[in-house]
Copies of this chain bind each other. A is one copy, B any other.
Amino acid sequence: MAECAFDVVGVGNAIVDVIANVAEQYLVDYDMVKGSMTLVEADDALLMYDRMPPGVEISGGSAANTAAGIASLGARSAYIGKVRNDQLGEVFRHDMRAGGVEFATEPAGSGEPTARSLVHVTPDGERTMNTCLGISAFLSPDDVDADLVASAAITYCEGYLWDREVAKDAIRFAMEVAESAGRVVSLTLSDSFCVDRHRDEWLELIGSHVGLVFANEAEVCSLFEVDDVDRACSLLAEMVDVAAVTRSEAGSVVLSRGDRFDVPATPVARVVDATGAGDLYASGFLYGLSTGASLARCAELGSIAAAEVITHLGARPLVPLHGLI
């Protein structure tokens, strides 16, 4: 395997988060399923934004958060995702590059605006999201820089991006390029509702391309339509080289070739905003892999990075993560 220019390239929906604190009753009043991510059309997003309390805009997007975390930890990180040439697109591009992530996907000159996710944070720190994917969902194989992908040790794709056919093609193309170059292909299952919508396609995708899967308990159970998390983890572990399953405050479990490692969560005083916990877990884990750490240590690094991001609003680290490890 040739020397790699990047440790990880992330592929996902390029999104700016609009974050506001709401009461529990707000979710009830507007029929929102706590902890979920719901895709909404532009018109509905406007209505929802209208009734949302004053917010804070912070660059987000699952794989983008992961890429930002990897750079903050000190590894070489790149990102592929689509924004418009509008103000929020500029904000997103700035935040990626200023955070040390290589991000060169050409912004679209026309079409829908940059994606926005309305993130409602309840007093318990849980986040409930309504996402308007905008132009981000139109990432195409043409946007995937094959040289970049081939030069990254790990290609990390986000399940959320699996929506429009063109974006599915982009993911398949990135995975095929990475595979041909002898690189590691990784996928995060993103959301249990996503898993439910795309179960058959994802089982096929994982079985044929993916070596490393990230998921939480609900997602892995949904994938195999079982209630028993341990059983779901075992089934996943049979399909891939490494499965990393996060369990919120119970930490995470890593399965690989018959081994199993249970790693605790890093304690925090108070969860302010859980947005990005899974994304930053992946940052720590992938950073660990890039430094040749053991799988148990990779999971530990994931816990440390996740702990930082849930202690404040927003899904990007507020302090250089390298100082925490």
Task: Name A's B-contacting residues (CB within 8 A).
Answer: 18, 20-21, 49-59, 68, 86-88, 91, 94-96, 98-99, 113-114, 314, 316, 318
Contact = CB atoms under 8 A, between A and B. Distances in A.
Contacts of A91: 18, 55, 57
29 contacts: A18-B91, A21-B318, A49-B94, A50-B94, A50-B98, A51-B98, A52-B94, A52-B98, A53-B99, A54-B68, A54-B94, A54-B95, A54-B96, A54-B98, A54-B99, A55-B91, A55-B94, A55-B95, A55-B98, A56-B57, A56-B58, A56-B314, A57-B57, A57-B58, A57-B91, A86-B86, A86-B87, A87-B87, A87-B113
Given A50-B98, A87-B87, 18 more contacts: A18-B91, A20-B98, A21-B318, A50-B94, A52-B98, A53-B99, A54-B94, A54-B96, A54-B98, A55-B98, A56-B56, A56-B57, A56-B58, A57-B58, A57-B91, A86-B86, A86-B87, A87-B88
Q: Across the A-B interface, give the 9 residue pairs with the lowest CB-CB distance, nearest first.
A: A57-B57, A54-B95, A87-B87, A54-B99, A54-B98, A56-B58, A87-B88, A53-B98, A86-B87
B54 A316 contact: yes
